[in-house]
Amino acid sequence: MSIFRYIVPALAVAAGAAAQCGDGGTATIQNAGDASALASCQTYDGSISISSDVSGNIAIDGVRKITGDLIANNVTGLTGLSAQNLQEVEGSFELTSLTVLTSLNFPVLTKLDTISWITLPALQGLSFTTGVQELNGLEISDTELSSLDGINLEVADTIIVTNNRYLTSINMQLGNVTDSIILGANSKDLVIEFPNLIWANNMTISNCSEFTAQSLETVNGSVAFYYSTFKTLSAANLTEVGGDLTFVANNELTNISMPMLESVGSLAIANNSALEEVNGFAALATISGAVDFDGAFTAVELPKLDDVRGAFTIVSSKSINETCSTFDSLQGENNVIKGDYVCQGETETSTSDQDGTSTGNKPKKSSGAANPMLIPGATGVLGLFAAMFGLL
């Protein structure tokens, strides 16, 4: 029997009570009538959950604020969920395994703590007219959304958007992300645009056709780009990456341009089969960890390099005599390159397909460097990737 038969009439006795209802617990909506009974509650104190037995559309109109969570898990008959007046959810908006849900209509919702939408295979669009601007965590996975229109965040802790095979556009006005951005396994045509992003902690980007973050200045942790089809990757204002900067298996990439970048933790560029020249790091001076380059390079230029504290490895299937000659003069315990050193050209080098399949072998012979120190297999960050991709 629905609890709303008793609690809502009682709360409506006084005019003041009509503005706020709930006792801090969780109310379960079992049918459309239960949802309609909340219309007099401008603020619901507690959480609202949709029963797994519900089918059809549920409209939670009238409620402007939920102090807890809004939850619908394993409601396999739910086709639509809406709340015309809802502006804020202080907790989580959690939707999981809603196999026939086709409509989410929240025209004035702007503020939440977290969004977690997992396995909504029939959801193709959002009706969020004003647009969500504030939340801490966003996770969207396994939907048929083609864009995230209606979610235009300015600040967030975590953004995870994965396995949405029709998703072709992510455009947000983010200024900073305090924890991590993980975007991957969406449509191969995905265009990612963060025009106002200045600071991020960690970023992992894969399987996209374009990535733009021209305002980005600092990444406190690591940033990695995998299996994407963009031809150019530019970050004109990026000056510092505190952790690893990684480019792996972006097979159409021909140009990396980060002209203001001065320091990184480690730098790895591997198996980007179209990338022949690495010359976009004009200001890079300090690398506190390792350098691992593996590809079909004809030239590698780091003109301002002043301090490399870890291992330094460049291997190429093409001749890099001039490159190796330059870096040979910089190696040594008290020199610029202080760790183990390898520079080899005209080697048999591994390549990776977009699905991660690897071909070829690691280099077995040296060329271009005078008496290079040969280290079997890969080193540092690239060694980790090589293990992942089966290259060793």
- The Cα-based distances of 100 to 28, 81, 303, 328 in angstroms read 20, 11, 57, 62
**Token pair 């490399």: residue:** 308
Sign of the Cα pseudo-torsion (131, 126, 77, 62, in order): positive
Domain residue ranges in the chain: 222-346
Residues sharing a CB contact under 8 Å with residue 124, sequence separation 6 or more, in sequence order: 102, 143, 144, 145, 146, 166
- Report pLDDT for 347: 80
Q: Which DSSP category does 207 fall into?
A: S
Sign of the Cα pseudo-torsion (108, 65, 34, 101, in order): positive
- Report pLDDT for 388: 38
The answer to whether the beta carbons of residues 294 and 378 sit under 8 Å apart is yes
- Report pLDDT for 19: 78
Rounded CA-CA distance 168/155 in Å is: 22
The answer to whether the beta carbons of residues 38 and 45 sit under 8 Å apart is no
Q: Nearest-CA neighbor of 123 among 107, 140, 149, 101?
A: 101
Give the pLDDT confidence of 210-265 residue by residue, as tens digits: 999 999 999 999 999 999 999 999 999 999 999 999 999 999 999 999 999 999 99
- Report pLDDT for 159: 97
Rounded CA-CA distance 194/312 in Å is: 32
- Report pLDDT for 26: 96
- Report pLDDT for 356: 43
- Report pLDDT for 100: 98
Tell me which residues of the chain have a pLDDT lower than 70. Answer: 1-18, 348-392
pTM for the full model? Answer: 0.84
Q: Nearest-CA neighbor of 129 among 85, 72, 63, 193?
A: 85
- The Cα-based distances of 298 to 313, 320, 328, 373, 377 in angstroms read 15, 5, 16, 21, 21
β-pairing, 218-219 vs 65-66, is unpaired
- Report pLDDT for 189: 97
- Report pLDDT for 348: 62
- The Cα-based distances of 166 to 57, 161, 181 in angstroms read 24, 12, 19
Radius of gyration of the chain (CA): 26
β-pairing, 88-96 vs 43-44, is unpaired
